[in-house]
Amino acid sequence: MSGLYVHVPFCLTRCGYCDFNAYTGLDHLRSRYVRALLREAELAGAAWPEPVETVFVGGGTPTTLAAEDLAALLVALRERYRVPPGAEVTVEANPDTVDVGKLVVLRESGATRLSMGAQSFDPTVLASLERVHGPDAVRRAMAAAREAGFEDVNLDLIYGAEGETLASWQRTLREAIALGPEHVSAYALTVEPGTPLGRAVALGLRRPPDPDLQADMFALACELLGEAGYRHYEVSNWARPGRECRHNLGYWRRRPYLGLGAGAHSFRGERRWWNVRPPEEYLRRVEAGELPIGGEERLGPEQAHLEEVLLRLRILEGVPASWAEPRAVEPLLDAGLLREQGASLVPTERGMLLLNELVLALAG
Ligand code: SF4
């Protein structure tokens, strides 16, 4: 089994914190880009015999594409890859780019799951994140998703933006829970160099997130989502039982995946490779009949082990205690960063905030 990721790099506006391969002002390339994705799917499909049990169309904002283009893409992927019945097919959406009509087309073209970028229900926080939608747009989009027949919806949230208080985050969590999504992702805002937010923080024009406040916000998310019946199954992800994102679990369990589109990454065995990032270069390469590969790396055994320890900690399955030196483990147990679960060591809520330190201690 494997996963298929399709990258759509277009966005309505650029959020200041974003370091994804996403662009504004390239709307004129949309239809050409979809044709290139179909061509790349053909070119790459020949070397991808595994069944594809999950498809994830992400971005960027895939729902900036016309409904017919998205439908053509989903249908073509099913034709070109071995997608079994029951496959999970997720499309990422921003609230301002969907309505019932578009979502019905997506459902009829095989999408089974919608992942919505809500981020916050506080207009001040949304403005601080430079998001274009307001809280009402999320409520409308959620209602439209249900009307269109989506029974599997994720809401993405971000905490720790400038101006956000613990009380505001609590309201956001309660509003998100009240909408009844099957899945919630909650990410701590990070400041990436090279983004507008990173530059503003470097110049002292914006305040970086307060790590203590973010730790409190994380604890609150654990508490409220847990009370509401969501299972915490990855550091930043909660789901109703059986509604975990199978596609992302595939990444975390090191299942092979193929990425299509500008900058998309692929992985199989020890090899990881990625496509060229700029959409124009991607288009040129694919239109010339080439695979648009921009680079590759091979993981050595040490790197693969480090990665496996990190991923096992992230999905809260933990690592076998026998993998680590007892003298490295004891201080982490004493400090309340790890706990024993059968024969495994699993991060505690506090430990989840210090995963990199845990990885170094356990894999060293
Ligand atoms: S909508 Fe998402 S991908 Fe697009 S700029 Fe904002 S954060 Fe980045």
Mean pLDDT of the region 102-120: 98
SS3 content of the chain, % helix, strand, coil (to 5): 45, 20, 35
Stated pTM of the model: 0.96
Measure the CA–CA gap between 154 and 183, rounded to whole angstroms: 4
Q: What pLDDT, on a 0 to 100 scale, did the predictor assign at position 349?
A: 93
Q: What pLDDT, on a 0 to 100 scale, did the predictor assign at position 363?
A: 84
104 and 235 within one domain: yes
Residue 283 placed within a domain? no
Ligand 1 atom nearest 60 alpha carbon: 3
Residue 280 placed within a domain? no
Residue 55 pLDDT level (bands cut at 50, 70, 90): very high
CATH code for the domain of 162: 3.20.20.70
The number of folded domains in the chain is 2
Cα 363 to ligand 1 centre (Å): 34
Cα 17 to ligand 1 centre (Å): 8
Ligand 1 atom nearest 19 alpha carbon: 8
345 and 216 within one domain: no
321 and 207 within one domain: no
Residue 317 pLDDT level (bands cut at 50, 70, 90): confident
Task: Kindly state the helix (H) or strand (E) to which residue 237 belongs, with its residue range.
Answer: strand 237-239
Residue pointed to by tokens 């679990």: 249
Cα 119 to ligand 1 centre (Å): 11
Task: Kindly state the helix (H) or strand (E) to which residue 271 belongs, with its residue range.
Answer: strand 271-275
Residue 46 pLDDT level (bands cut at 50, 70, 90): confident
Residue 23 is classified by DSSP as: B
Domain boundary among 232, 252, 272: 252
Cα 206 to ligand 1 centre (Å): 19
Mean pLDDT of the region 147-176: 98
Residue 61 placed within a domain? yes
DSSP sequence for 51-108: -EEEEEEEES-GGGS-HHHHHHHHHHHHHHS---TT-EEEEEE-GGG--HHHHHHHHH
Q: What does the pLDDT look like over 276-316, one tens digit per residue?
A: 999 999 999 999 999 999 999 999 999 999 999 999 999 98
Is the Cβ–Cβ distance between 284 and 30 less than 8 Å?
no
225 and 332 within one domain: no
Residue 352 placed within a domain? yes
Domain boundary among 252, 274, 290: 252
**Average pLDDT value for the chain:** 96
Residue 293 placed within a domain? no
Residue ranges making up the domain that contains 177: 2-252
Pocket of ligand 1 (CB under 6 A): 11, 14-15, 18, 20, 22, 59-61, 94, 117
Task: Kindly state the helix (H) or strand (E) to which residue 113 belongs, with its residue range.
Answer: strand 113-119
Is residue 364's pLDDT more than 80?
Answer: no
Residue 341: phi and psi, rounded to 5, are -135, 100
Q: What pLDDT, on a 0 to 100 scale, did the predictor assign at position 132?
A: 87
